[in-house]
Copies of this chain bind each other. A is one copy, B any other.
Amino acid sequence: MSDKPTQKNRGRYNNPVANQNFDDNVEDLPEYETFEDDFKPRGFGPADGSLTVHKVDMLQESNMPVHFTYAFDIGSLVVRRGQQFMMQVTFDREPAPSDDFQVEFLIGTDPSASKGSLMVVTFGQRKGGPWAGEVLERRGETLVLGVTPTANAIVGKFRTYVAVVVPHGIQRTKRNTKTDMYLLFNPWCQEDAVFLGNEAERHEYVLNDSGNIYQGSLDSVVNRDWMYGQFELGVLDACIHILDASRMPITDRGNVITVVRKGSAMINSQDDSGVLVGNWSDDYSLGQSPTSWTGSTKILLQYANTGVSVSFAQCWVFAGVFNTFLRALGIPSRVVTNFNSAHDNTGNLKTDLIFKEDGSPDIRNTRDSIWNYHCWNEIWCTRKDLPAGFGGWQVVDATPQETSDGHYRCGPASLKAIKEGVLCHPYDAGFVFAEVNSDVVFHKRDRYGTLTPYRVETALIGLAVYTKGLGGEHPVDVTFNYKYPEGSPQDEATMKQAEEYGCARDHSEIPDNPLTVSLHAERVLLGDDVSLQVSFTYSGPGEREVKVHLEGSVVFYTGVTASRFKNHQFTVTAPGGQTVTEVIRIPGQEYFPHLGSQVSLKFIVSGKSEDHTVTAIKVINLLTPRLTVQLSGRSRVRHMMYMTVSFTNPFNFSLGNVYMAMEGPGMMSYRMRYYSIIEPQGSISWTEAFRPRLMGNRTLVAVMDCNNLRQVMGVAHVSITA
């Protein structure tokens, strides 16, 4: 990352570039500083009768509710920039009008007034730095001071000193960690780049510490409750630690664009030993499986405590943990899910699927895949670095990709730019545009290796983008933020615009095809039989005999085949102007042994008549059993409560090496339990006691995970009163 302050760079910088917020080896200003140009007194130290500071109180209880930071489980003051906070200074005597003092806020290893990391605040006529100070109240020897950090101040943990001007110098308070102050982004402040005007939105996107992440496919959406836990003990420190681990210069940490871009790089472990190790396989034996997490807190605390990347994650884990990082620092953010997401197609707008001459999928020669879904984050901010009109929601993505920029990070990319196809601005707008807008090009590969496109599907990718609704548990469709309706004049204008910025599309002349095929299946419980309807419609004259090839596979959510279980050929006669449907029954035992830990089945059907080829694809997400969650006890702050999770194995096979976990932000910290085996039809029940810390509507979640059954969850909601 950043240059380490080695001898090698001694001729490079006047001082090493400061990039650590948490470093105990800081050398702050001296406790007594003699004025250089002054008459030098014989002894050091203040003269008799100088004002002396007895006590500094950061007034957490008064400040934090009005800064919307009261939920933090933390010992120090946490406030938001661009908004006044109070502090109380008690001197040895009542300050006289002739007494002069100032308050100094320092951050990082090399505080500097010209770099915004050393802020001098004055309270009288004398000029200070850019943070405003005023005396709010005088009570004898005690003053209540108001300090207003600028709305673009550096975000992080500041050290606080009170400095009194004495006859020949300055006398400072000693370093006292109790007066440390965390400064955060401020969505409540109009001058802040993250200002968000709507109170309900601020409560959801900054203050809500639990949420819903949507998975599965558009016609069978699966809700995963995710505990963000941004206010839990140690989480804010862990988020600042991430920036320290990235060696991000302190002086950049007031810029939301820079912070989120760095965050998107650091949440994944590639390049930079970041937070989470990606793993797209069925083997998680070297860590915890991506499906086993209940939320972000365990991951962030483990990373901060060990300094080692945490195993393992897939997209929703990256997005969930990134969301905690963002909300902890005060950046409005949400997790969204794009159904049918195009990936890794560096800069062009084509997802190429290749088929053999007989119509069957040519897996050997197909490189692209369509993810059933992909989760990323949106943040809300202005874009001062861009022309007007590109502020608002921005896409950021921490899942490691093959980005065009060659590093594992993505965004912020303006949603308005994506919607209009204006892809000429930073960062990675073209990549996100392709994820929601790619065309799927079906190629036939001839025996000589030459590809000929025979079908282009423009509406298959980016079927819909979902996010959690305000306050509720249900998804809302935010696709309109990403694109105009398919086929509308605005949509065409957008695609044309995108092509002008180099997004290559396929413009092959595809002949009209009178033969079409579609697939339909109801969702079933994992293990049950699947009933697949294959329908051919032939709109031409006469009738056509169609040779049909049906392939069934278990797939990863990335669309990649895990195991093929069906390869079936049959013939259908399609009469002109009619639809003919074949129903194919796939017994549970046919796919079940192939599942591993996956829950998605993919069917590809190809039909070939004398003169036409057609193809359809259908992904089915199998339903998994649920955990039963029950709460008891008085729903009051600091009163004892109990949570009981129970489960009965509905299958005729044993579940082995079963992990169960539960947590609820503001209620109960992460807890885990292990069961070596759960027999067929066997039941387990687990009860934990806890005392709620925070009031209001709260969520607790439980997850069960084992090698042959994943995605088993349960949730409880409760309202806690004072």
Shortest Cβ distance from A96 into chain B, in angstroms?
A: 18
Given the known interface contacts A13-B369, A358-B37, A424-B425, the answer about A450 and B281 at a Cβ–Cβ threshold of 8 Å is no
Q: Contact at B7–A281, with CB atoms within 8 Å? A: yes
Q: Contact at A356–B402, with CB atoms within 8 Å? A: no
Q: Check A486 for interface membership: any CB of B closer than 8 A.
A: no
Given the known interface contacts A29-B449, A405-B261, the answer about A367 and B15 at a Cβ–Cβ threshold of 8 Å is yes
A1-44: CB near B (< 8 Å → 1, else 0) gives 11100011111111101000000000001000001111000000
Q: Contact at B404–A258, with CB atoms within 8 Å? A: yes
Q: Which residue of B lies closest to A126 (CB)?
A: B448
Chain B residues whose CB sits within 8 angstroms of the CB of A127 once the complex forms: 446, 450, 452
Q: Check A643 for interface membership: any CB of B closer than 8 A.
A: no
The stretch of A225-233, A379-387, A467-475 that contacts the partner chain: A379-387
The stretch of A248-256, A517-525, A654-662 that contacts the partner chain: A248-256
Q: Check A357 for interface membership: any CB of B closer than 8 A.
A: yes
Q: Contact at B357–A424, with CB atoms within 8 Å? A: no
Chain A residues touching B, range: 35 or more
Q: Contact at A12–B406, with CB atoms within 8 Å? A: no
Q: Which residue of B lies closest to A246 (CB)?
A: B406
Q: Contact at B386–A8, with CB atoms within 8 Å? A: no
A348-380: CB near B (< 8 Å → 1, else 0) gives 000010101110000101111100000000000
Q: Which residue of B lies closest to A560 (CB)?
A: B11
Q: Contact at B384–A450, with CB atoms within 8 Å? A: no
Q: Contact at B384–A3, with CB atoms within 8 Å? A: no
Q: Check A347 for interface membership: any CB of B closer than 8 A.
A: yes
Q: Check A533 for interface membership: any CB of B closer than 8 A.
A: no
Contact residues of A: prevailing secondary structure: loop
Q: Check A427 for interface membership: any CB of B closer than 8 A.
A: yes
Shortest Cβ distance from A134 into chain B, in angstroms?
A: 17
A550-569: CB near B (< 8 Å → 1, else 0) gives 00000010101110000000
Shortest Cβ distance from A590 into chain B, in angstroms?
A: 21
CA distance A402 to B385 in the complex (A): 18
CA distance A628 to B387 in the complex (A): 57
Chain B residues whose CB sits within 8 angstroms of the CB of A352 once the complex forms: 114
Chain B residues whose CB sits within 8 angstroms of the CB of A653 once the complex forms: none
Q: Check A666 for interface membership: any CB of B closer than 8 A.
A: no
Chain B residues whose CB sits within 8 angstroms of the CB of A366 once the complex forms: 14, 114
Q: Check A719 for interface membership: any CB of B closer than 8 A.
A: no
Shortest Cβ distance from A332 into chain B, in angstroms?
A: 20
A627-668: CB near B (< 8 Å → 1, else 0) gives 000000000000000000000000000000000000000000
Q: Contact at B36–A356, with CB atoms within 8 Å? A: yes
Q: Contact at A11–B367, with CB atoms within 8 Å? A: no
Q: Check A282 for interface membership: any CB of B closer than 8 A.
A: yes
Q: Check A129 for interface membership: any CB of B closer than 8 A.
A: yes
Chain A residues proximal to chain B, CB less than 8 Å: 1-3, 7-15, 17, 29, 35-38, 102, 104, 110, 112-115, 118, 120, 122, 126-129, 163, 165, 170, 246, 248-249, 251-252, 255, 258, 261-262, 265, 270-271, 277-283, 312, 344, 346-347, 352, 354, 356-358, 363, 365-369, 384-387, 400, 402, 404-407, 423-427, 430, 443, 445-452, 501-502, 556, 558, 560-562
Give the top 9 A-B pairs by smallest Cβ distance, nearest first: A11-B556, A12-B280, A11-B280, A114-B352, A384-B502, A35-B447, A8-B279, A386-B424, A426-B426
Subset of 13 A-B contacts with CB under 8 Å: A3-B270, A11-B562, A12-B280, A14-B368, A14-B560, A29-B449, A35-B447, A114-B365, A165-B448, A246-B406, A255-B347, A271-B271, A385-B430
